[in-house]
Amino acid sequence: MTSSFQSPFQEDVNISTIEMHTAGEPLRIITSGFPQLNGTTILDKRKYLKEHFDHYRKLLMFEPRGHFDMYGVLLVAPDVDGADIGAIFLHNEGYSTMCGHAVIALGRYAIDHGLVKNPTSPETRVGIQCPCGLVEAFVEYQPGGSGCEEGRTGAVRFQSVPSFLFASEAVKSTVSISHPDSDDLAFLYGTIITDGKDAFSDKVTANVCVFADRQVDRSPTGSGVSARIALQYFKGHIGLGQSRTFESGATGSVFTAKAVQEVTCGEFKAVVVEVGGKAFYTGGNTFTLEREDTLGHGFLVQ
């Protein structure tokens, strides 16, 4: 019997990755074997990847190499001043515009793998261009070791693009979403379930973030706590520089976060939020695909 299966890959595949986690949430960093992306800007490259190479996302995020809640990142050349690296994020549904846990891990990865020249102690700045814009990470740096030994604390803080309260309605269908910078950023990405302690600024507050296609974040979620800080700030529960601790309802891991500056984003009042956490290495892989392996192209059991 002749199989009708048509592989989207033209040849056998070999892709190398470095594996990390931030507060329990995995990050698969693609280091080699991925095709070149066309495009001038990072949003152009993200669109090109989605339209032409989405089968690579499924190959690396789905089973048998990944799982329903796997998360990954592809490094690309940045196209804005101040960026050391560019990052396109991958998950079970598609492509994030921002990912805080990935930024924390990438900050450490960039130092350890020589992507930032002349790192300084006790902290080194790493500029990471995400699809949402330039994010600045500050990595605790301990010179004198080799490779990942130099960043053994794993501690990273980052300041993201402005966060703002777009609307406080609870029903998605009643809100028409827009973004002042790009229509590519105008969508509802996730839902955060909290313990209701927004107004209790002196207490640790827990949350669980469900994003993409029902993917559950193991960490407190960097972009999620940025959104919660913006909400609490504009409701008057916290002030500038007032730090809060956010706990993951899934693993008990924690991030700290605070609003450090009030700015504007288009017509919206916004805040720059600083988030802190730790990232660690878990290993490395070389993944292969034989074109005749139909299951090896990726599948999900839900």
| Phi, psi of 74, rounded to the nearest 5 degrees | -110, 125
Supply the pTM of this predicted model.
0.88
Residue 10 to residues 31, 66, 104, 263, 275, Cα–Cα distance (Å): 20, 22, 35, 49, 42
Span(s) in the chain for CATH 3.10.310.10: 13-156+282-297, 159-277
Helix (H) or strand (E) holding 210: strand 205-211
27-31, 165-169, 215-219, 295-299: the lowest-pLDDT one = 165-169
In this prediction, residue 268 carries a pLDDT of 87
Helix (H) or strand (E) holding 288: strand 268-289
In this prediction, residue 1 carries a pLDDT of 39
Q: What is the rounded distance in angstroms from the CA atom of residue 32 to the CA atom of residue 113?
A: 14
Summarize pLDDT for 25-71 with one digit per residue, the tens: 999 999 999 999 999 999 999 999 999 999 999 999 999 999 999 99
Summarize pLDDT for 239-285 with one digit per residue, the tens: 999 999 999 999 999 999 999 999 998 888 999 999 999 999 999 99
Instruction: Reply yes or no on whether 99 is catalytic.
Output: yes
* 177: pLDDT strictly greater than 60: no
What is the SS3 assignment for 44?
A: helix
* 166: pLDDT strictly greater than 80: no
Pick from 193, 222, 276: nearest CA to 101? 222
Could you tell me the two tokens for 249? 């309802």
Q: Are 61 and 48 in contact (CB under 8 A)?
A: no
Q: Which member of 99, 130, 209, 265 is catalytic?
A: 99
22-36 CB burial, b ≥16 within 10 A, e <16: bbbbbbbbbbeebee
- Average pLDDT on 86-110 reads 96
**CATH architecture under which domain 159-277 falls:** Roll (3.10)
Q: Are 226 and 255 in contact (CB under 8 A)?
A: no
CATH 3.90.1150.10 fits 13-156+282-297, yes or no: no
Q: Are 302 and 13 in contact (CB under 8 A)?
A: no
In this prediction, residue 145 carries a pLDDT of 59
